[in-house]
Amino acid sequence: MGRRRKAREDTLRILFRLEFENKQIEKTLDQYWKSKKASEEIKEYSTWLVNGVISDQAKIDNIIQQVSEHWRISRMALVDRNILRMAVFELLYEEKIAPAIVINEAIEIAKKYSGEEAATFVNGILDAVRKDLKDIKKSLEEKEHA
């Protein structure tokens, strides 16, 4: 398993914990990394993802909600919702990884942690985000500069 995949899987576990721990990010991260053996590269990427998803969660959830026509984000499975959040954050802010790779990684993680049906769902949502990515980024930049 590649380092980025490992970091994404750790991120998913941490985000899952944060759903139940009232967003105590630093405490949750500290506890998680104390119980887990991982390289600094994995810890850094995962921590970047966690902090980014949490800090931009409202923006990310809004993007997901816009492209998921018949699904409210609150009704999505917890694992699927967090895979989507993580992938949307990467699509928005990870400049070094192609969108197709981000989407493929999310699909593979969904298969592993949620199943084939979830992987199809994740693929559909993320493909819709990818198609509108330039417009989404432009809109976000305009809001930040307004």
What pLDDT, in 10s, does the model give residues 89-124? Answer: 999 999 999 999 999 999 999 999 999 999 999 999
Q: Are the CB atoms for 108 and 5 separated by under 8 Å?
A: yes
Q: Are the CB atoms for 44 and 5 separated by under 8 Å?
A: no
- Distance, in Å, from the CA atom of 6 to the CA atom of 109, rounded to the nearest integer, reads 10
Structural domains for the chain: 3-145 (1.10.940.10)
Alpha helices in 1-146 (DSSP H): 3-18, 25-34, 40-55, 57-67, 78-93, 99-113, 116-131, 133-145
What pLDDT sits at residue 1?
Answer: 67
Q: At what angle do helices 133-145 and 78-93 cross, to 10 degrees?
A: 70
What pLDDT, in 10s, does the model give residues 42-78? Answer: 999 999 999 999 999 999 999 999 999 888 888 999 9
Compute the radius of gyration of the chain from its Cα atoms. 15
What pLDDT, in 10s, does the model give residues 128-138? Answer: 999 999 989 88
What pLDDT sits at residue 143?
Answer: 81
**pTM assigned to the model:** 0.94
- Among candidates 15, 25, 131, which has minimal Cα distance to 80? 15
What pLDDT sits at residue 40?
Answer: 95
pLDDT reading at 15 higher than 90: yes
